């Protein structure tokens, strides 16, 4: 078996779940990456379109922007 980075497969499946990649495209990329038979890769990628990207990753990406809150200044 080839050295496979799980992040690469996760990225492909994430693109599949969001709709950026079709089932055929995702299956082709997974087959090339892993060495699986194209039919097996197609079956593997088929179910991921029903999941959200957060479900595929296993976590939600946090929003890095912090909201500025107005501060009250007391005058004495």
- H-helix segments, the chain: 6-18, 23-34, 38-46, 53-57
Establish if 45 belongs to a structural domain: yes
pLDDT digits (tens, 9 = 90+) for 44-62: 888 776 777 777 777 777 7
Q: Which domain holds residue 40?
A: 6-51
Q: Are 14 and 57 in contact (CB under 8 A)?
A: yes
Q: Report the domain count for the chain.
A: 1
In a domain, 16, yes or no: yes
Arithmetic mean of pLDDT, 59-72: 66
- What mean pLDDT is predicted for residues 55-74? 67
**pLDDT of 25:** 92
In terms of Cα–Cα distance, which of 12, 22, 24 is closest to 53? 12
């Amino acid at each position: 078996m080839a050295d496979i980075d799980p992040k690469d497969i996760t990225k492909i499946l994430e693109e599949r779940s969001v709709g950026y990649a079709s089932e055929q495209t995702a299956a082709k990329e997974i087959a090339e990456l892993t060495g699986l038979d194209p039919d097996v890769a197609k079956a593997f990628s088929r179910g991921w379109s029903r999941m959200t990207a957060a479900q595929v990753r296993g976590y939600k990406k946090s929003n890095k922007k912090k909201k500025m809150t107005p501060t009250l200044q007391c005058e004495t």
